[in-house]
Amino acid sequence: MRIAHYDTPEELAHCYALMCKLRSKLKSKAEFISQVQRQQKQGYRLSGMEQNGKPVALAGYRLLENFIHGRFCYIDDLVTAPAARRQGVGADLLHNLAVIVREYGCSQIVLDTAISNTQAQAFYQFSGFSAPGLHFYRELN
């Protein structure tokens, strides 16, 4: 398997069903495509692994720089189709993504997950990630 990149509305449309597994708030394919296009203007990229021409794992990410991490890749979205889990597809996607972002001078990949998502945490630790801190949120009404 090799990594695929999704840029055009037609390519993004093929990713909608899988992204809905992660982002249940999505209401329509058109809304998804529109939001990805807005995020692309902010540096968002969507890549994935395919089986039989269909995405089975997706990573939405950005290349960023700050004082904490230097140049890094932030993964906004990471999802593997339920039927493809435990087959190494997600690990392959993270490996391929690491190769790509190193070429852009990134020294780290950063992502967040819910404290309650212990399965994802175990996968990230297995994939070489550590959790050196907490991410705090404050709702602004």
Residues 6+ apart with CB under 8 A from 20: 26, 32
Residue 133's pLDDT is 87
Measured between alpha carbons, how far is 60 from 44 in angstroms, rounded to an integer? 7
Domains by residue range for the chain, with CATH = 3-126 (3.40.630.30)
Inter-residue contact 79 to 19 (CB < 8 Å) = yes
User: What is the b/e burial string over 7-33, where b = at least 16 CB atoms within 10 angstroms of the residue's CB?
Assistant: eeeebbebbbebbbeeeeeeeebeebb
Measured between alpha carbons, how far is 123 from 118 in angstroms, rounded to an integer? 9
Residue 25 in tokens: 């708030």
Residue 38's pLDDT is 98
Per-residue pLDDT of the chain (141 residues; tens, 9 = 90+): 779 999 999 999 999 999 999 999 999 999 999 999 999 999 999 999 999 889 999 999 999 999 999 999 999 999 999 999 999 999 999 999 999 999 999 999 999 998 999 999 999 999 999 999 888 889 998
